[in-house]
Amino acid sequence: MAKYEKILLKNMEQPGYTGSLKEYEQTGGYQAFRKVCEGMAPSDIIETVKLSGLRGRGGAGFPTGVKWSFIPKDHPGPKYLCCNADESEPGTFKDRQLMERDPHQVLEGMAITCYTIGAETAYIYIRGEFWLGAKVLDQAIAEAKKAGYLGSNVLGTGKTINIFVHRGAGAYICGEETALLESLEGKRGKPRFKPPFPATHGLYQKPTVVNNVETLANIPHILNKGAAWFAAIGAPPKGTGTRIFCLSGHIKRPGNYEVPMGVTFREMIYEIGGGMRSDKPLKAFIPGGASAPFLTPEHLDVKMDFESLAMAGSMLGSGGITVMEEGTSMVWAALRLMEFFYHESCGKCTPCREGSSWLVQTLQRISRREGRMSDLDLLLDLCKSIEGRTVCAFGEAEVSPIVSTMRHWRSEYEELIREAEAAHPVKQEIPVLSQI
């Protein structure tokens, strides 16, 4: 693939780089924030981010500048910024590296965002297991305060910007922005009904922006080099910039890789990742974290951007690419992911709370070679009863592994069931939902 310049991982590739304030400043760190504090109008910052084409890197891919513009400009009370660092999607580990290895890059992006939307207080909601990341961020915040980048009267502007690290309790659902806000307020992490949206009724019912770690880390670079520079990278106009993809599974070179948006999965898996670990043929891959539908070798030339993946029947999601070689049981893969989603369901919505348990039990029965052919209709019927009937997108996420593996590898389910029927020919059929 063609040569390109990294943006977010560039600093940490320097020998001996530790992410300290002094080292970050030597790479040009906080220059963008200084430029902002010298009198750049918030409306101009928002317009710059809009023109850059930056879209959220947490999963939804919503245009960042547009999200900022929803914050009421005449609101008399406090406004908040929340950095979503609750990286809990299986197969995703990019935000962790950004926080642990180059924390000031994230903090500068947050400081600029606070200045832009008029927020004096920001929170980094970090996954509870990321104890090292929380420690590194606390140290970086202390450094930034001492240097005048955070605290009261930042860089002599008279403005106050404070950032606090809040450790979550290890709940996957808190990656959903409204569940994150509920948890920050000291309540159980369960999603809220929308509308109203966080832009007007967010943290403590005040205007709030929730952005992903990688999204915020891009902001200083966009302001330093301009919207046109960022918009020219990747797959413009709707897939601009670079993206950090997390490559794992049956791959020779797993890890985080920053590439321009729009490279193909063939380039990622075979050129960057080195191909299959045991040189077996590729069987399947998940393109964007556990909630993204599975794809097949036929999709290797699909471009890694939002629109191309949507047309292929999946999504870019969190950027977690999990590769599976020939010999992998797709029923097993669906079951393992379904067990995760069942464990992480917050229980607020009946279809998800009850349906996830039923899905796991049915998949376990098929895996034990105790299933019947009617179980396949039962699985799909259950998925239809969950999809679109939950407060948040968790319902769509949990049925995705089942629906996509049934679409591409239904024969594997049928083979396990034929073995079960041969061993237990008189076992009574289990009715589908429509027959109950």
Q: Is the pLDDT confidence value at 132 over 60?
A: yes
Helices (H), 6-130: 21-26, 31-37, 42-52, 64-69, 94-101, 103-117
| Topology given in CATH for the domain delimited by 242-325 | Ubiquitin-like (UB roll) (3.10.20)
Q: Is the pLDDT confidence value at 362 over 70?
A: yes
* Residue 429 binned pLDDT confidence (cut-offs 50, 70, 90): low
Give the number of other Cβ atoms within 10 Å of residue 157's Cβ. 14
Contacts of 125 (CB under 8 A, 6+ apart): 82, 83, 84, 85, 86, 166, 168, 174, 180, 183, 184
- Residue 397 to residue 381: CA distance in whole angstroms: 16
Give bridge partners of residue 212 from the DSSP assignment. Answer: 84
Q: Could you tell me what percent of the chain has a pLDDT over 70?
A: 97
Q: Is the pLDDT confidence value at 22 over 60?
A: yes
Give bridge partners of residue 247 from the DSSP assignment. Answer: 255, 321
CB of 146 closer than 8 Å to CB of 105: no
In CATH terms, the superfamily for domain 11-232 is NADH-ubiquinone oxidoreductase 51kDa subunit (3.40.50.11540)
Condensed to tens digits (0 to 9), the pLDDT of residues 258-289 reads: 999 999 999 999 999 999 999 999 999 999 99
Condensed to tens digits (0 to 9), the pLDDT of residues 160-200 reads: 999 999 999 989 999 999 999 999 999 999 999 999 999 99
* Residue 4 binned pLDDT confidence (cut-offs 50, 70, 90): confident
CB of 55 closer than 8 Å to CB of 63: yes
Average pLDDT estimate for 362-366: 96
Q: Is the pLDDT confidence value at 435 over 80?
A: no
If you ran DSSP here, which 8-state letter would residue 118 be given? T
pLDDT at residue number 60: 85
Q: How far is CA 116 from CA 66, 138, 180, in A?
A: 13, 23, 22
Q: Is the pLDDT confidence value at 427 over 90?
A: no
* Residue 233 binned pLDDT confidence (cut-offs 50, 70, 90): very high
pLDDT at residue number 122: 98
Cα Rg, the chain, nearest whole Å: 23
Condensed to tens digits (0 to 9), the pLDDT of residues 292-349 reads: 999 999 999 999 999 999 999 999 999 999 999 999 999 999 999 999 999 999 999 9
* Residue 436 binned pLDDT confidence (cut-offs 50, 70, 90): very low
Average pLDDT estimate for 362-382: 96
* Residue 434 binned pLDDT confidence (cut-offs 50, 70, 90): low
Q: Which two tokens stand for residue 11?
A: 């600093």
DSSP conformation letters of 348-362:
-SHHHHHHHHHHHHH
* Residue 3 binned pLDDT confidence (cut-offs 50, 70, 90): confident
**What spatial distance separates the first Cα and last Cα of the chain, rounded to whole Å?**
55
Domain with residues 330-435, CATH architecture: Up-down Bundle (1.20)
pLDDT at residue number 430: 54
* Residue 423 binned pLDDT confidence (cut-offs 50, 70, 90): confident
* Residue 63 binned pLDDT confidence (cut-offs 50, 70, 90): very high
Q: Which two tokens stand for residue 176?
A: 């959903």
CB of 110 closer than 8 Å to CB of 81: yes
* Domain residue extents for the chain: 11-232, 242-325, 330-435
- Residue 9 to residue 6: CA distance in whole angstroms: 6
pTM of the predicted model as reported, rounded to 2 decimal places: 0.93
User: How many CA atoms lie within 13 Å of 156's alpha carbon, on the beta-carbon side?
Assistant: 4
